[in-house]
A = this chain, B = another copy of it.
Amino acid sequence: MTRTIVASATKEHVIGFDQPFTIIGERINPTNRKKLAEELENGIFDTVKADAIAQTQAGAHILDVNAGITAVDPNETEPPLLRAAVEAVQEVSDLPLCIDSSVTRALEAALEVARGRPLVNSVTGEEEKLESILPLVKKYDVPVVAICNDESGISEDPDVRFAVAKKIVERAADHGIPAHDIVVDPLVMPIGAMNSAGVQVFRLVRRLKEELGVNTTCGASNIGFGMPNRRVLTAHFIAMAASHGLTSAIMNPLHEEDMAAVFAANLLNGHDPDCRAWTARYRPAPAGEGSEREGRRRRRRRRG
């Protein structure tokens, strides 16, 4: 059975088909977050730490850390910044990390300080990426996210995206990296731009599971880009994709809709023995202990 092991200094987490769905917290990312971007530009990590704490308390299993701010030369600025962000997160959370950058030197700088066994995000099917990222992944013996695009961009044909995933898995094997250390991102298109985006992902994760035996992840909220009631759409997408074999998502653990989707998917996919996780999260307050709202508050404190 495919098991991708991700770890911090003290905590190990397994991504797998026989495991509950893995929640990768997406919040530490300055894209479209002006305040966070400004702080990062000034070497301030208050919001990074607050986001790490909040997502840990909310039930994330892994924290994505992205420090990709607009810069004249990201090859110069991003390596020390990502390294510092990783150190800041490690100060306040014991969760394993997902080190997220398109700058290879930034990934390397972060890997030097990340404890345990972080997930590297990401390699693509581009030659230059394959030959720079895979040796790094091998050197540090860490798992890696493989995104299904290459020099020709993102194909709208899911068969082409599958072929890119297969190429990356094969190339990784050439570098001595086993398939269970590859977590494939099939790429989620906005449903508003492509009506078949949902069905494509469901089919792709099934094929990736059945034919390549690899774990999968995706940026879940992409599906609803530009749509009204986006949170509810994202939540259903997560649960539906999980029922076809998606084993993790980069998502917002502070969104109750998305978390309910993960808990429901675990329960309905048979990964919540005796319904323990579901009933612990949603059981009504015992008589005399107040309303359901009170119950939620208590729950938050208990987790905190």
Interface residues of A (CB under 8 A from B): 191-192, 195-199, 202, 223, 227-229, 232-233, 235-237, 239-240, 243-244, 260-261, 264-265, 267-270, 272-275, 278-279, 281-284
Partner of A264, one of B199, B236, B243, B260: B236
Across the interface, do B191 and A268 meet the contact criterion of CB distance under 8 Å? yes
Q: Shortest Cβ distance from A50 into chain B, in angstroms?
A: 28
Tell me the number of copies of this protein.
2
Across the interface, do A283 and B223 meet the contact criterion of CB distance under 8 Å? no
Q: How far is the CA of A284 from the CA of B267 in the complex (A)?
A: 33
Binding site secondary structure of chain A: helix
Partner of A236, one of B239, B272, B284: B239
Across the interface, do B270 and A199 meet the contact criterion of CB distance under 8 Å? yes
Instruction: List the B residue with the shortest CB-CB distance to A267.
Output: B191
Q: How far is the CA of A269 from the CA of B241 in the complex (A)?
A: 11
Q: How far is the CA of A269 from the CA of B200 in the complex (A)?
A: 9
Partner of A284, one of B228, B233, B244, B278: B228
